């Protein structure tokens, strides 16, 4: 593929608050995307721009001249504000980039994207290189905003705002209509003539009426805003405490403290608490708290830092109102390592007090953590850090050390059970009865020590579902976990995965959207909603959730497989082949999942030779975690070879292949559901007991 390096003006746009909107009303969110395209595409073309690509709710375009880029950006904002459906942020940078096919790469692209991210809603922010090119042009004015150290950019970037002076109509002294040039467009403003003074009384009466009406309107607006802000303030994001040590060796402590405070606060029903994934996305970013508050739709942010001096720590914390960066509360803790445990309770209690929250008896109990030996708590935070990094063996080692020091600390048992369960599940060691029983015993011990520990019940639910096929038990324990902590996104989504395979798509939608509202950048919510939509035949919705996952988290290997499956279910069989060829061209080995879909796609296109070749390739795959037998069975089902399908379904069942759990919902098996062999497998697996 040919590539060329050239100077270009790069423009990035982004819909303000889109991720939150997606969690609240996905239909409206998709409608915003459509309108966004309708606004931007013709304007970009009008100013000789090149539409490069759409990244979820963002758009990337390039222009040959800075003037064209700024003209296009200003007009896009004017048209968008007139439509009054949503707001945009726009960033522009002039730099050297590489054009390769239909895409653009280089540092210039990164800088433009970062400038857009810090722009205020409804504005156009530009780099200094753009500013220098337009500062002497009569159509444009710029205002210096700040010098910012942008992520992945070595040197600070000076950022300017493009000032539009056409927001309010100017009054022409002659009383004649006037026009103002906006790039290539002329905007006309009508004004009242200066003559006809005999009508002054009528005009005065009209003005009085308008003033009264305006006063009532403004009162209604401010009254509504005041009410909204009161509710807005009962929402909080807890950022990871910044590790200020020269060695950067207490990151686990900063993350752990923040996460434990989040876990305490999520039990309070009166308070909206943003989940860990969304709050932690700003780690290492130098963003204004107002911008973070706007992105997360919260009124309050808790932030802090940690410094270490030998065996002493200095921990600072502050509570900030995001609308105006007003500091509600701040505190500095100078203490020995042995006293760190007490800080989280102190901060959580302070938040309850400052926000004037009313707690139930259960909430009061849940917000105060059980006592633990200080050294054990330090080890617990290290184990929690490893668990979140999905290093389950290391997490188990730390949690066992915690229990050795303090055998009554319930959360350590819960995370030990979870870590061990995931270790067994990923290694497909379901036949290791001793290991499964140990994981279950740890989880059960956690709720014996603390009957209100949501993670303990969720852990038992996970074991019952993924390792024991006891779906009735899994449902009971998952339900108990969300009853105790209905705002914990991770617990909600863990239950949602189970509900997908059980075919309870309506409940998946309800719970996953609730999880998305509190943790809008947790990929799990988008994933389970994709699967629920896919398996229930709502393919447009599935495509929307898949695009959202790609926009937020990028194109990874899992997304590639999900897209292949979506295209197959849409009947786009040539696209399935094209996507798989693209993966192979990038050096990727096709997974059993993709090879089975290829076999089905060729069969649907009546390319029987190629279909049989794919089936032969599928049966030869030696991946122990590839669910080869199950996917071979599905391929035979699509090829209408029923006996061969059941031969491989039995093999998949006996091997305890993970994706056998989709037996209940897999569309390829729809015509076989009344076959006695299917009914027996359905019952043997335990689906009839859900």
Cα within 13 Å of Cα(656), Cβ side: 14
Cα distances (angstroms) measured from residue 224 to each of 211, 218, 231, 586: 20, 10, 11, 54
DSSP class of residue 658 equals G
Residues 497-516 have a mean pLDDT of 94
The domain spans of the chain are: 3-163, 234-369, 392-614
Residues 564-588 have a mean pLDDT of 95
Using a pLDDT cut of 70, give the percent of the chain over it: 87
DSSP alpha helix (H) spans, 61-199: 66-83, 107-118, 128-134
- Average pLDDT over the chain reads 85
Q: How confident is the model at residue 204 (pLDDT cuts 50, 70, 90)?
A: low
Residue 624 burial (CB < 10 Å; 0-12/13-18/19+)? exposed
Sign of the torsion formed by the C-alpha atoms of 492, 498, 503 and 504: negative
> Cα separation of 329 and 236, whole Å?
14
Q: Which residues contact 161 (CB under 8 A, 6 or more apart)?
A: 119, 123, 124, 125, 126, 142, 143, 145
SS3 37: helix
Residues 95-123 have a mean pLDDT of 84
Buried-exposed string 250-265: b where 16+ CB fall within 10 A, e elsewhere: bbbbbbbbbbbbbbbb
Supply the pLDDT for residue 190.
35
Q: Could you confirm whether domain 234-369 is CATH 3.40.50.1220?
A: no
Residue 338 structure tokens: 């042995």
> Cα separation of 193 and 173, whole Å?
10
> Cα separation of 356 and 365, whole Å?
17
Rg (CA), the chain: 29
pLDDT in tens, 338-363: 566 678 778 888 888 888 888 888 78
Q: Specify the CATH architecture of the domain 3-163.
A: 2-Layer Sandwich (3.30)
Angle at 66 between CA 65 and CA 72, to 5 degrees: 95
Which range, 203-217, 303-317, 514-528, is most confident?
A: 514-528
Identical fold at 3-163 and 392-614? no
What's the helix, strand, coil split of the chain in %, to 5?
A: 60, 15, 25
pLDDT in tens, 435-487: 999 999 999 999 999 999 999 999 999 999 999 999 999 999 999 999 999 88
Tell me the fold of 392-614. Answer: 1.25.40
Which range among 52-66, 98-112, 413-427, 451-465 shows the weakest confidence by mean pLDDT? 98-112
CB 166 within 8 A of CB 187: yes
Nearest to 394 by CA among 406, 384, 409: 384
Supply the pLDDT for residue 284.
79
Q: Which residues partner with 51 through β-bridges? A: 61
């Amino acid at each position: 593929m040919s590539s060329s390096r050239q100077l270009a003006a790069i423009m990035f746009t982004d819909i303000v608050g889109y991720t939150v909107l997606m969690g609240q009303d996905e239909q409206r969110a998709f409608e915003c995307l459509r309108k966004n395209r309708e606004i931007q595409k013709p304007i970009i073309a009008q100013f000789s721009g090149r539409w490069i690509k759409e990244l979820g709710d963002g758009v990337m375009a390039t222009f040959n001249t800075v003037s064209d880029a700024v003209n296009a950006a200003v007009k896009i904002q004017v048209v968008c504000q007139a439509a009054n459906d949503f707001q945009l942020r726009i960033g522009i940078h002039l730099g050297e980039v590489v054009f390769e096919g239909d895409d653009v790469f280089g540092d210039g692209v990164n800088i433009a994207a970062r400038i857009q991210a810090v722009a205020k809603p409804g504005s156009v922010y530009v780099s200094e290189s753009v500013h220098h090119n337009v500062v002497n042009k009569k159509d444009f004015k710029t205002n210096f905003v700040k010098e910012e150290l942008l992520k992945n950019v070595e040197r600070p970037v000076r950022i300017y705002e493009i000032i539009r002076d056409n927001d309010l109509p100017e009054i022409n002294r002659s009383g004649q209509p006037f026009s103002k040039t906006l790039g290539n467009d002329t905007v006309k403003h009508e004004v009242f003539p200066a003559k006809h003074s005999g009508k002054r009384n009528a005009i005065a009466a009209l003005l009085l009426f308008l003033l009264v009406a305006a006063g009532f309107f403004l009162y209604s607006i401010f009254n509504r805003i005041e009410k909204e802000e009161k509710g807005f303030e009962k929402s909080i994001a807890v950022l990871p405490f910044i590790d200020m040590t020269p060695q950067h060796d207490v990151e686990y402590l900063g993350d752990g403290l923040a996460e434990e405070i989040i876990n305490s606060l999520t039990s309070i029903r009166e308070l909206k608490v943003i989940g860990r994934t969304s709050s932690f996305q700003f780690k290492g970013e130098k963003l204004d708290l107002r911008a973070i508050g706007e992105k997360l739709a919260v009124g309050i942010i808790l932030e802090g830092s940690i410094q270490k001096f030998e065996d002493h720590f200095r921990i600072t914390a502050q509570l900030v109102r995001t609308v105006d960066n007003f500091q509600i509360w701040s505190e500095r803790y100078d203490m020995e390592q042995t006293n760190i445990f007490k800080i989280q309770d102190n901060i959580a209690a302070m938040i309850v007090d400052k926000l004037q929250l009313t707690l139930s008896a259960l909430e009061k109990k849940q917000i105060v953590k059980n006592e633990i030996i200080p050294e054990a708590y330090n080890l617990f935070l290290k184990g929690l850090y490893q668990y979140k990094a999905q290093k389950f063996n290391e997490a188990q080692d730390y949690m066992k050390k915690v229990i050795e020091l303090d055998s009554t600390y319930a959360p350590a048992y819960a995370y030990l059970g979870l870590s061990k369960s995931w270790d067994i599940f990923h290694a497909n060691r379901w036949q290791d009865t001793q290991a499964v029983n140990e994981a279950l015993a740890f989880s059960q011990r956690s709720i014996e020590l603390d009957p209100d520990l949501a993670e303990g019940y969720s852990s038992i639910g996970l074991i019952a579902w993924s390792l024991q096929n006891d779906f009735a038990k899994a449902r009971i324990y998952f339900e108990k976990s969300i009853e105790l902590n209905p705002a914990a996104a991770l617990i909600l989504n863990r239950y949602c995965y189970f509900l997908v395979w059980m075919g309870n798509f309506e409940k998946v939608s309800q719970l996953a959207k609730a999880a998305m509202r509190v943790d809008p950048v947790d990929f799990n919510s988008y994933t389970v909603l994709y699967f629920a939509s896919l398996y229930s035949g709502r393919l447009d919705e599935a495509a929307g959730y898949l695009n959202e996952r790609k926009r937020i988290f990028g194109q990874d290997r899992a997304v590639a497989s999900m897209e292949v499956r979506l295209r197959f279910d849409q009947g786009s069989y040539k696209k399935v082949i094209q996507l798989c060829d693209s993966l192979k061209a990038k050096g990727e080995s096709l997974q059993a999942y993709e090879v089975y879909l290829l076999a089905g796609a060729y069969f649907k296109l009546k390319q029987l030779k190629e279909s049989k070749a794919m089936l032969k390739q599928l049966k030869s795959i030696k991946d122990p975690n590839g669910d080869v037998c199950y996917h071979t069975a599905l391929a035979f089902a699509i090829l209408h070879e029923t006996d061969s399908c059941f031969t491989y379904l039995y093999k998949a069942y006996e091997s305890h292949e993970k994706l056998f759990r989709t037996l209940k919902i897999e569309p390829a098996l729809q015509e076989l559901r009344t076959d006695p062999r299917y009914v027996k497998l359905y019952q043997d697996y335990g689906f009839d007991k859900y």
